[in-house]
Chains A and B, each alone.
Chain A
Amino acid sequence: ETGVTQSPTHLIKTRGQQVTLRCSSQSGHNTVSWYQQALGQGPQFIFQYYREEENGRGNFPPRFSGLQFPNYSSELNVNALELDDSALYLCASSPDRGHGYTFGSGTRLTVV
């Protein structure tokens, strides 16, 4: 079985721009969560999608939005990028809500 795949692996954007990060969930997993991890900190929960619907959201502004597709892959969109958005963005999938997550290796976003 394939794991969780994220693309791109690294990205550099300018303040004010928009970015889309992509995630292919593990086969058979219907739940996808996105996290932001700053250097030296634990992952911060952005939101979770369950069967194409947003199922929960953390303390992130509306310029952070997402989608989950019928094949359960997912996108994270960030508008009006700020310098503080520079971080490792992690996608994780699970076979159902509340189960343990399989994480991808992340997308390292740098905003300059």
Chain B
Amino acid sequence: TQLLEQSPQFLSIQEGENLTVYCNSSSVFSSLQWYRQEPGEGPVLLVTVVTGGEVKKLKRLTFQFGDARKDSSLHITAAQPGDTGLYLCAGVNTNAGKSTFGDGTTLTVKP
């Protein structure tokens, strides 16, 4: 069974601070995706990383895929209240037609 562990589970910070959340697994994935989910809504795709060691930037968000394609991190610079939400990572095994989600990191950014 492929498992993804996300840490920390909860994070509460002040506006302007930086933060990093982690997504770790013992399994290798074809790709890894990060999503943000708000209450009452479905997850919204932020990024897909495919190559080991890959780094992608999306404005203040930086995503990194581990060299062995087993883990990933999301770094947010100068967090804003609008960044508040549940951040989910999902490991994709394309051949098996399966995606495995972690339980997410709930981020609260206080003004």
Contacts and interface: CB of A to CB of B under 8 A. Distances in A.
B103 A42 contact: yes
A98 B92 CA distance: 6
Contact of A103 (B6, B42, B100, B102): B42
Interface in B86-101: 88, 90, 92-94, 96-101
Given A42-B88, A42-B104, A43-B88, A101 B41 contact: no
Q: Give the interface size class of chain B.
A: 20 to 34
Interface in B45-76: 45, 47-48
B30 interface: yes
B97 A56 contact: yes
Nearest to B99: A45
A44 interface: yes
A100 B101 contact: no
Contacts, number: 64
Interface string A90-104: 101000011111111
A100 B96 contact: no
A57 B93 CA distance: 12
Interface string A16-50: 00000000000000000101000011111100101
23 contacts: A33-B99, A40-B103, A42-B88, A42-B101, A43-B90, A43-B101, A45-B98, A48-B97, A56-B97, A57-B98, A58-B98, A59-B1, A92-B42, A97-B94, A98-B30, A98-B31, A98-B94, A99-B48, A101-B99, A103-B42, A103-B43, A103-B45, A105-B41
Interface of B: 1, 4, 6, 30-31, 33, 35, 40-45, 47-48, 88, 90, 92-94, 96-104
